[in-house]
Amino acid sequence: MSGGNLFEQQRRNRRRSALLVLVFLLFFAWIGFGADYILYLSTTPAQGEFSRPGAYHHTIPWFGMLASVLALGMAWYSWKNGPKQVLWASGAWELVSPTKPQEQMLVNVVEEMAIAAGLPRPTIWMVPDPDPNAFATGTDERHAHIAVTEGLLAALNRDELQAVVAHELSHIKNYDVKLMTLLAALVGVLALISDFTCRFFGRGGARVSGSRSSGKGKGGGALILILLVIWLISVLLAPIVSRLLALAVSRKREYLADASSAQFTRNPAALAAALRKIEDAAAPTKAIQHGSAHLCIADPLGRRANIKEGLLADLFGTHPPMAVRIARLKEMAYQYQKTGVMPEGV
Active site residues: 168
How large is the C-alpha radius of gyration of the chain? 24
* Rounded Cα distance, 36 and 41, in Å: 9
* Rounded Cα distance, 245 and 253, in Å: 13
Q: Which residues pair with 163 in a beta bridge?
A: none
Classify the C-alpha dihedral 156-158-164-169 as positive or negative: positive
Classify the C-alpha dihedral 42-44-47-53 as positive or negative: positive
- Residue 141 in contact with residue 118, Cβ under 8 Å? no
The phi and psi torsions of 127 (rounded to 5 degrees) equal -105, 120
